[in-house]
């Protein structure tokens, strides 16, 4: 097995991704778990770069790490009693381990027949760098054209916006104040309060004379 620079980088990124993912589910501190998640996503971004998809790598960092991971952390914070370090409460770890292995084997058995299509002769050798699938030269521009082309991805694109809108409306409904009056805008500074206070001492001094 030849060690090229590329296979070494692939190895590093894979280890980072998988290792961090493992830490996410095994660490006891929830905040650390969130940070490990970010690290894992970062590893995935690196893998995207290796796959010559820098645009997706960029989106991964901007959206997943920069928005969704932060959202997850905020959601963690909303949970009460989150600071307490929780011990292992689950006694079914053997069953879950068995299930995980089963799913993994299923996945491998489904993906393996496609080895030839992807262009990999043998899993133990590294991917040939000069043998990627026919990539159009200008993937970035092609991506842009594909989402507005009615023959290609226009419909999913518009539906995506509806999906996002639904998500936001749902969240708003969950957190909107039950009392409509609470949401009404109040003047932050009301000068009348101050005027009343000033009248107070002068009244007292007038009464005290």
Residues 33 and 108: their CA atoms lie apart, in Å, by 27
Tokens 């005027």 -> residue: 195
Helix (H, G, I), strand (E, B) or coil at 176: coil
Site for another protein in 139-178 (CB under 8 A): 140-145, 147-148, 154, 157-158, 160-162, 164-165, 167-169, 171-173, 175-177
CB nearer another protein, residue 98 or residue 200 = 200
* Site for another protein contains 127 (CB under 8 A): no
Query: Quick check: 115 and 123 in contact, CB under 8 A?
Result: yes
* The one among 11, 15, 28, 52 contacting another protein by CB under 8 A: 52
For residue 35, state whether it binds another protein (rule: CB under 8 A): yes
Q: How far is CA 51 from CA 124, 130, 154, in A?
A: 18, 12, 25
- Tell the smallest beta-carbon distance from residue 175 to another protein (Å): 4
Query: Which of 78, 110, 133, 207 is the binder for another protein (CB under 8 A)?
Result: 78
- DSSP for 15-38 reads HHHHHHHHHHHH-S-HHHHHHHHH
Which DSSP string corresponds to 88-101?
Answer: ---S-HHHHHHHHH
Binding site for another protein (CB under 8 A): 5-6, 9, 29, 31-32, 35, 38, 49-50, 52, 54-55, 57-59, 61-63, 65-71, 73-75, 77-78, 82-83, 129, 140-145, 147-148, 154, 157-158, 160-162, 164-165, 167-169, 171-173, 175-177, 180, 182-183, 185, 187, 190-192, 195-196, 199
């Amino acid at each position: 097995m030849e060690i090229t620079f590329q296979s070494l980088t692939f190895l590093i990124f894979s280890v980072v991704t998988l290792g961090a993912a493992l830490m996410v589910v095994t660490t006891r501190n929830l905040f650390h778990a969130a940070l490990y998640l970010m690290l894992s996503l970062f590893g995935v971004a690196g893998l995207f770069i290796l796959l010559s998809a820098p645009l997706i790598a960029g989106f991964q960092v901007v959206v997943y790490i920069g928005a969704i991971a932060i959202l997850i952390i905020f959601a963690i914070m909303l949970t009460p009693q989150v600071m307490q370090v929780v011990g292992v409460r689950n006694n079914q770890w053997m069953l879950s381990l068995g299930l995980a292995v089963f799913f993994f084997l299923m996945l491998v058995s489904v993906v393996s027949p496609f080895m030839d299509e992807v262009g990999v002769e043998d899993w133990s050798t590294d991917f040939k760098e000069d043998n990627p699938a026919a990539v159009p030269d200008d993937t970035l521009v092609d991506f842009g054209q594909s989402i507005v082309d009615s023959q290609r991805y226009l419909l999913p694109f518009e539906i995506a916006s509806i999906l996002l809108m639904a998500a936001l409306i749902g969240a708003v409904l969950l957190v909107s104040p039950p009392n409509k009056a609470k949401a009404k805008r109040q003047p932050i500074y009301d000068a009348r309060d101050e005027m009343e206070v000033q009248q107070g001492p002068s009244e007292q001094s007038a009464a005290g004379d």
